[in-house]
Structure 1
Amino acid sequence: MNGLYALKPWYADRLSGLRRALAARQVSPDTLTAAGVVCAAGAAAALAWLPAPPAALLVAVLLAGRLAFANLDGALARDTGRTTRRGALLNELGDRAADLLVIAGFLPLAPLWLVAAAAFATTLPSWVSLAGAAAGAPRRNGGPVGKTERCLLAVVAAASGWAVPVLAVVAAGSAVTAVVRALWVWRALGQPETAVAAVARERVVATKRAMARERDVASDKPVVRAAEPASSAPRRRPSPSPSPSPSSSPTLGSLPCEHDRSLPLDPGEVSGGITHTRPQSPADRGTRLRGAR
């Protein structure tokens, strides 16, 4: 049972041309949210200060604007890719403020306790919807006395002057709407865990996309990759070092000896192309000298 909320798709289609014009002029969705709150405040002032029959037209026009702006801000943000977490918060706060402002217009026309009860009751359906969405259920809107019905009842009060009966209907109908939404959310959360998890995953993905867009907007400098400078001259490959010839390869005889370098070396045996040398002792030198004599 969605009430007049079932007409929202039809109403959104009627506003599509205005939405495209606002997107072309780069109007911020937050501006539309603020405009909806201003319209609600104007309707409350007309309801409180103007006499009953003439006030109806002005209240009807202002509340129609309040509903139009409430529809346009979210749709414009989705169409232009400007959905952010701050925008979602501002949208919820704007809706609650507009509801309370319309109820405040009944202050000169009804007892204070009834106005306070109606103000509290009008917030209950939204609390239930937000609690269900936080638990993983789809966001639930509409009901016997939702936002659209409350605006219509305010117009009835402005046209007839029956402020007290209308306010009582608003309070009772809002409480019933909260119960209806709570039952619907309860049944949705009782479904298999896979269905609830799928809804939760969709919400997480949407949140991550919004966070990525916020980071892109908040970044001051674009990321620029430095291009590698092109070399004017081709790189030369190192020429291979010439392989040493067998004749130039060092022999053990040319290597330093671990013994006393002051001793003369005599040629040793040659085997395998390698010259073996050894140091001469004093006895060897004497033997050589005697043999030479």
Structure 2
Amino acid sequence: MSRTSGLYALKPWYSQRLTGVRAWLAERDVAPGAVSAAGVAAGAGAGLALAGPAPGVAAGLLVAALLAARLACANLDGALARQTGLASRRGALVNEVSDRAAELAAFAGCLALADAWLVAVTALAATLPSWVALAGAAAGAGRVQGGPVGKTERCLALVVVAFTGWATPVLAVVAAGSVVTAVVRFARLWGPLGRLGGLR
């Protein structure tokens, strides 16, 4: 089972746009792990951009570009591994850890714009949808993705912060929305897991 909603539903379209980039990387024997690392670097760059210049058009465009690169890397690393026959369990682990690290690095930039406790709560809440999805996949129900506040929406929220400086209200919405998203994903998984039977 792989169900999507929100902006994540655009992933097939986005993946198609990245076909040429993926082919270019494959031709040059770029390792999928290097793409994952580049995604973390892009997330960290977005965090630095949020913490650096004053919010506005320049900061917004820079953060948008860096987070677009971060999302592209998140899309490309696994696809590149499959295309080149390098997919592995270790690679899947690197993929997941790098995705979380890139997001946390980006959120860290908000420490310059909002209270540390709010940034910490939001960063923690933002991990919940992924943990629920991973738990569902580990239990055999497949992986659910998407919103209402999934990875893509959270990146968009950080772009809004960079343009406007409205860190506190945006982070509050992201935190609450991430919790709702985790609950929605849990509910989507509950029925299929019950039909699978087993321990519970």
**TM-score scaled by length of structure 2:** 0.94
Of structures 1 and 2, the larger Rg is shown by 1
Structure 1 residue corresponding to 2:7, chosen from 1, 4, 7: 4
Counterpart position of 1:33: 36
Structure 1 residue corresponding to 2:21, chosen from 18, 21, 27: 18
Report 1 or 2 for greater relative contact order, CA contacts < 8 Å, sequence distance ≥ 6.
2
Structure 1 residue corresponding to 2:66, chosen from 56, 62, 79: 62
- Cα deviation, residue 140, structure 1: 1.1
- CA root-mean-square deviation: 1.1
Q: State the secondary structure of the residue aligned to 1:107.
A: helix
Counterpart position of 1:46: 49
Q: Structure 1 residue runs of 4+, over 6 Å off?
A: none
1:1-150 alignment to 2 at 5 Å?
2-53=5-56, 54-150=58-154
Q: State the secondary structure of the residue aligned to 1:50.
A: coil
- Cα deviation, residue 192, structure 1: 4.6
Q: State the secondary structure of the residue aligned to 2:8.
A: helix
- Cα deviation, residue 141, structure 1: 1.1
Counterpart of 1:185, as a letter, is L
Q: Which runs of 5+ in 2 are unaligned?
A: none
Pair 1:177-2:166 in alignment? no
Counterpart position of 1:186: 190
Q: Which runs of 5+ in 1 are unaligned?
A: 197-293
Supply the distance in 2 between the matched residues of 1:131 and 1:17 (Cα, whole angstroms). 33
Q: Identity rate of aligned residues, in percent?
A: 64
CA spacing shift, 1:185–1:20, aligned 2, 3 Å = same
Counterpart of 2:191, as a letter, is R
- Cα deviation, residue 129, structure 1: 0.8
CA spacing shift, 1:37–1:192, aligned 2, 3 Å = closer
Q: State the secondary structure of the residue aligned to 2:112.
A: coil
**TM-score scaled by length of structure 1:** 0.65
Q: State the secondary structure of the residue aligned to 1:182.
A: helix
Supply the distance in 2 between the matched residues of 1:130 and 1:20 (Cα, whole angstroms). 28
- Cα deviation, residue 142, structure 1: 0.8
1:245-264 alignment to 2 at 5 Å?
none
